């Protein structure tokens, strides 16, 4: 089979194609970041209930040791990313804004930082139920940014049957390349993780979807799966938000998820490549998730790259290590389309943080004014969910939030930001929609 056969030109409708800025780091191998003097481990860095502390102030902890336990099925435990002593358990700044209860670890200087806690196992001997329990014990969440507990995805509702695992290797956000490098440097671990996901879900096949601006990854993985009957690789057109699970399922399988439904309703479970690489590494060893690969990039960085970073590393320390050009105009955690700007440097790297983009001041410092909607319909043409962002935006200015949800499908918006990107009137539409959904959630509580 030639490379031409790998292409499936079918893709979702609408979307955009912003400059990707990936050349800064796409060719750089993953490097390990040194341990910071202090690590901050938020107990709520995943969807679901926060974890419950297992340690006390002043207690010694070893690298890899469980320090917090899951609080229910939709929750995951935390593990010590480094050997040290628990300095405190207190409220600490978070990227979301409100302070979050966190375990602060003072890292031992000069420690070899070997992983002391592991429990090797033969995954081939495990039942699907045992695999799901073991995945929860690793503390694994979706590393693409959603931070949804992975073991929950592996156990779909009883009324749904999963026949296909979709492996998300698109990485469609501009600037980010950590998944790209993992596909190139960790193909065996990725395949091991895919096989574990197949066994856990009971799916009969897996499809790895990769955007066609990463053909080196397509070639590496195509060669690697040549002897794997259940795993296929497909290149999909490069456009944003190809990596959104609803979009990718439609591109690869021609299946559309009904509004308000899960991927399992159409027989699919979707996992990010970074997540499966970690599962392929952690499950056989019985270790917990204590570090992840983070893309650190942007014109404001002196040493851009992909770094293996202990969870809990303060981004201030990360910036000091890679070097930031002064002054820093904007710091975005995640990609520029769906990431969030942060004002404080004391927030830590979390399990969900795939990138950090640092931008210098723009050459034109004058901020463009927000103008009235001119009904050009560019946002309607860009929205991958076929919503009407123009009308939703007008309703948002009138604070008709419930009408937005009831009559104009506000909750189908997954905040990709395409509408804001194309708006010639500079209307911050996606910010309006985030506020509207938050207010509706508060009213419903």
pLDDT digits (tens, 9 = 90+) for 74-85: 999 999 999 999
> Which residue, 250, 253, 144, is CA-closest to 203?
253
Q: At residue 1, does pLDDT exceed 50?
A: no
Secondary element (H or E) of residue 442: helix 429-444
Omega cis (within 30) before 337: no
pTM beyond 0.85: the answer is: yes
Question: Which residue blocks in 286-361 are alpha helix, DSSP H?
Answer: 315-322
Question: How large is the average pLDDT for residues 420-429?
Answer: 96
Question: How large is the average pLDDT for residues 160-171?
Answer: 97
Q: At residue 97, does pLDDT exceed 90?
A: no
- In the block, which residue shows the tokens 């040290």? 84
> Which residue, 341, 297, 338, 351, is CA-closest to 319?
297
The answer to whether 10 and 251 are in contact (CB under 8 A) is: yes
pLDDT tens per residue, range 103-134: 999 999 988 899 988 899 999 999 999 999 99
Question: Which residues, in sequence order, are bridge partners of residue 131?
Answer: none
pLDDT tens per residue, range 7-36: 456 788 999 999 999 999 999 999 999 999
**Residue 343, by phi and psi: left (phi above 0), alpha (psi -120 to 50) or beta?**
alpha
**Spatial distance between the Cα atoms of 115 and 129, rounded to a whole number of angstroms:** 26
Burial 53-62 (b: 16+ CB within 10 A, else e): bebeeeeebb
The answer to whether 310 and 35 are in contact (CB under 8 A) is: yes
- Kindly give the pairing relationship between strand 330-333 and strand 340-341: antiparallel
**Spatial distance between the Cα atoms of 434 and 144, rounded to a whole number of angstroms:** 20
The alpha carbon of residue 435 and the mean position of all alpha carbons in its chain are separated, in whole angstroms, by 22
Q: At residue 50, does pLDDT exceed 90?
A: yes
- Band the pLDDT of 177: cuts 50, 70, 90: very high
Please report the pLDDT score of residue 3 as a whole number. 52
- Band the pLDDT of 344: cuts 50, 70, 90: confident
The answer to whether 379 and 419 are in contact (CB under 8 A) is: yes
Question: Which residue blocks in 114-212 are alpha helix, DSSP H?
Answer: 128-138, 150-153, 178-185, 187-201
Burial of 333 (0-12, 13-18, 19+ CB in 10 A): buried
**Spatial distance between the Cα atoms of 218 and 208, rounded to a whole number of angstroms:** 9
Question: Which residue blocks in 88-177 are alpha helix, DSSP H?
Answer: 128-138, 150-153
- In the block, which residue shows the tokens 């194309």? 422
When the pLDDT of each residue in the chain is averaged and rounded to a whole number, the result is 93
């Amino acid at each position: 089979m030639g490379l031409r056969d790998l292409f499936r030109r079918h893709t979702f409708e609408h979307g955009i194609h912003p400059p990707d800025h990936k050349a800064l780091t796409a060719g750089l191998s993953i490097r390990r970041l040194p341990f910071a003097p202090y690590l901050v481990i938020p107990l709520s860095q995943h969807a679901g209930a926060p974890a419950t502390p297992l340690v006390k102030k002043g207690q010694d902890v070893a690298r890899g040791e469980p320090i917090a336990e899951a609080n229910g099925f939709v929750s995951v435990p935390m593990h010590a990313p480094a050997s040290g002593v628990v300095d405190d358990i207190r409220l600490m700044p978070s990227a979301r804004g409100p302070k979050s209860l966190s375990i602060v670890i003072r890292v031992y200087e000069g420690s070899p930082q070997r992983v002391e806690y592991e429990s090797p196992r033969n995954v081939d001997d495990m039942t699907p139920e045992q695999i799901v329990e073991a995945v929860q014990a690793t503390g694994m969440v979706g590393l693409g940014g959603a931070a949804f507990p992975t073991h929950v995805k592996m156990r779909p509702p009883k009324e749904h049957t999963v026949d296909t695992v979709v492996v998300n290797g698109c990485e469609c956000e501009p600037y980010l390349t950590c998944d790209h490098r993992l596909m190139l440097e960790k193909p065996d671990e990725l395949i091991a993780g895919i096989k574990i996901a197949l066994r856990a879900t009971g799916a009969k096949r897996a499809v790895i979807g990769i955007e066609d601006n990463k053909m080196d990854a397509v070639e590496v993985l195509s060669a690697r799966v040549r002897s794997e009957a259940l795993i296929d690789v497909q290149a999909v057109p490069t456009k944003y938000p190809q990596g959104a699970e609803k979009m990718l399922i439609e591109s690869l399988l021609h299946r559309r998820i009904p509004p308000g439904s899960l991927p399992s309703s159409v027989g699919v479970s979707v996992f990010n490549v970074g997540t499966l690489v970690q599962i392929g590494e952690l499950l056989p060893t019985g270790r917990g998730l204590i570090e992840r690969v983070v893309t650190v990039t942007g014109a404001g960085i002196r040493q851009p790259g992909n770094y293996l970073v202990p969870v809990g590393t303060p981004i201030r320390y990360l910036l000091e290590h890679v070097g930031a050009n002064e002054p820093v105009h904007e710091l975005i955690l995640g990609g520029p389309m769906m990431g969030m700007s942060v004002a404080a440097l004391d927030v830590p790297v979390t399990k969900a943080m795939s990138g950090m983009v640092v931008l210098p001041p723009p050459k034109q410092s004058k901020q463009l004014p927000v103008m009235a909607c001119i009904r050009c319909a560019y946002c309607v043409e860009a929205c991958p969910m076929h919503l009407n962002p123009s009308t939703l935006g007008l309703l948002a200015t009138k604070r008709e939030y419930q009408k937005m949800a009831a009559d104009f499908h506000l909750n189908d918006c997954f905040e990709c930001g395409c509408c804001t990107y194309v708006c010639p009137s500079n209307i911050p539409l996606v910010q309006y929609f985030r506020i509207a959904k938050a207010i509706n959630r508060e009213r419903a509580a």
